[in-house]
Every structure is written in C-alpha cells, then in structure tokens.
Amino acid sequence: MIGDRKLNGNSMSRLVELENYFSSNAYKIGKVIYYCDEISSTQKIAKEISLTAENGTSIIAKKQTEGKGRFGRFWHSPEGGLWLSIIIKDIKQPLYLNPILSLSCIHMIEQFYQLKPRIYWPNDIYINGKKVAGVLTEGIHFDNSAYIAGIGVNVNIDEKYFIENKLKEATSFYIETGRKENILNIFQDFLIKFNFLYELVQMDSPLYIDEAFKKYNDLLSQFVKVNYGGTQFEGQVLDVSIKDGILLKLQNNIVKNFFPENIEYIRRV
Ligand code: BT5
C-alpha cells in the first residue's frame, strides 16, 4: 500500500497492488482504489470526488463513523467489515446495479464460505435468517448520469458488537463460521465477480442476472407486509424480478407490483 495523499481532507492511500491486478487483467472496475483507515462514509467521499474520478474508482474504509443505509438510516461500520463505494459512470442499465452488487456478494460468499446466502428483498443479503450485507445505490449529478454503488459486508465483526448495539437481526461471516478472513481478499474476489456481472450488463445480456436474482431470492411464495411509500400492504409474493419488482397477491385478491425504490421495508408475516 503506497501513495498516501489527502483526498478532500481525508488521509487516503492507494491500494496499488490491487489496482495493478485489476488493470493488468483488463477489468473496468478497480483500476483506482482508495483506502482509508477511518472515514465518515465512503458514499460521501465517493460523491465528493465523482466529477473528476474515472469510472470504476473504488473507495474502501476500515471503519466508517457515519455509515449510511437506505432512507437515511444509520449503517453500523466498525472495524471488521468491507465498507465499499464504487463510482459508476457508464452503466447501460442502471436498474441492474443493485442486483449485481448483491449477486457479487452472494458469489463471493459461496467462494469463501460453506454458507447459503439469500437475497432478501430488495437487495439485502441474509444468512440463516440474519442480515450480513446491505446495498445502497445513489444516483448523482442532476441527471443521474453517474451512480455511487455502495455495499457494506459484515466480515469479521463479533457477536458482542451486534448485541451491544441492539442489532438482533445482524450477523457476520465470523459469527456464522468462527473463521476470520482477510478483508482485502474478500474485496478482491467481490470486485472480480462484480466486473463479470457488470460486463454482462454492458453487453446487454443480463439473462443470467435475472435468473440468479430469482434463484437466490428469499421471498418467493412468502406472506409479507410491505411499507410502500408510507402505506402498508399485506399479501403473498407471486414473483420477484429485477424489471417488474415484487408481485404481490393482496388480501383482497388484487395482484399488484411493488418497485424497490419505494419499498421502505418488507417483513414476513
Ligand atoms: C442498507 O440499508 O442495508 C444499505 C447499507 C449500505 C452500507 C454501505 S457501507 C459502504 C457504503 N458507505 C455508506 O455510508 N453506506 C454504504 P438499509 O436497508 O436501510 O438497512 C439499514 C438497517 O440495517 C438499519 O436501520 C439497521 O436496522 C440495520 N443495520 C445497520 N447496520 C448494520 C450492519 N452492519 N449489519 C446488519 N444490519 C445493520
């Protein structure tokens, strides 16, 4: 790790070895990687540098003090997690950004651990009924011409942290397996998978992504309660898809689509 510099007031390093790996393998994402010991939020810094940064620039932090979830929620980011934001400037179908973040995480988990990850709508990753990772994509610039694709993954965090912070539904790979992993290895593998799926989107061949998104989904045929733009709905999940969202058969037998951007939360009943 060399090349310390200040980036908008934060002391950042470049992960040169990893950058070389991604450049020399002709990957589009990961040619520029910033690393910081402690940061407010990787999303925030990514936004600040997004105008001049090249497509695929990635920012990771050992620890975040103001980690951000969806709808302004707080994301706990102590040391022991992968806290990552990627600046994406040229994706052909932005609808696929969240799903490919989730699926890259799923495939990385399958590579490293004997675990069975599931996608819990819209894009959380769950293991054994608990949340191990969350995804947050934000459109930036007035016309959404660029995106900050964020993911938080609980890698080596211990149970004590979640108990002390009253996160009953949270887990980590360490809690599930008793094994600690090198977070940079996890990051590298995640980014390899992300590059692969990203290329599928850019080549207009997202069929595999559509199928995998359905295959790993945890909600098919479940009875759920949805908070949709502030209104509650209850029903059975008939289908989930990236393009059409979640298809619910409501209690009055009406069938209705719900799109992820407006789903504040969804719970099993
Ligand atoms: C998410 O939000 O799941 C998206 C999280 C994205 C975090 C990444 S980290 C890198 C980048 N930089 C950032 O600042 N953010 C992104 P949401 O679906 O709103 O889930 C938030 C809820 O999950 C909280 O209200 C808690 O209930 C719970 N939660 C918070 N921290 C958690 C953690 N570390 N593990 C599991 N659950 C957590």
Task: Give 134 Cα–ligand 1 centroid separation in angstroms.
Answer: 5
CB of residue 154 inside a 6 A radius of ligand 1:
yes
Hey, which of 75, 168, 262, 264 would you mutate to test ligand 1's pocket, going by the most ligand atoms within 8 Å of its Cβ? 75
Calculate mean pLDDT across residues 242-247: 92
pLDDT at position 59 = 98
Q: Residue 226: which residues within 8 A CB-CB, separation 6 or more?
A: 232, 233, 234, 235, 246, 248, 258, 263, 265, 266
Look up residue 106 and give its amino acid.
I
Taking the CA of residue 61 as reference, the ligand 1 atom at the shortest distance is: 10
Residue-wise pLDDT for 73-96, tens only, equals 999 999 999 999 999 999 999 999
Calculate mean pLDDT across residues 249-258: 93
pLDDT at position 3 = 45
Give the Cα-Cα-Cα angle 182, 148, 94 (nearest 5 degrees).
Answer: 115
With a pLDDT cut of 90, the percent of the chain lying above it is: 83
Q: CA-CA distance, 93 to 90, in Å (whole number)?
A: 9
pLDDT exceeds 50 at position 1: no
Average pLDDT, rounded, for the chain: 93
Calculate mean pLDDT across residues 181-206: 97
pLDDT at position 9 = 65
Residue-wise pLDDT for 90-146, tens only, equals 999 999 999 999 999 999 999 999 999 999 878 899 999 999 999 999 998 766 679
3-state secondary structure of 131: strand
Phi and psi at residue 120, to the nearest 5°:
-105, 125
Task: Give 165 Cα–ligand 1 centroid separation in angstroms.
Answer: 13
CB of residue 263 inside a 6 A radius of ligand 1:
no
- Give the global pTM: 0.94
**Least confident range of 5-9, 122-126, 163-167, 226-230:** 5-9
Tokens of 138: 């934000």
- For atom 28 of ligand 1, the residue with the nearest CA is 75
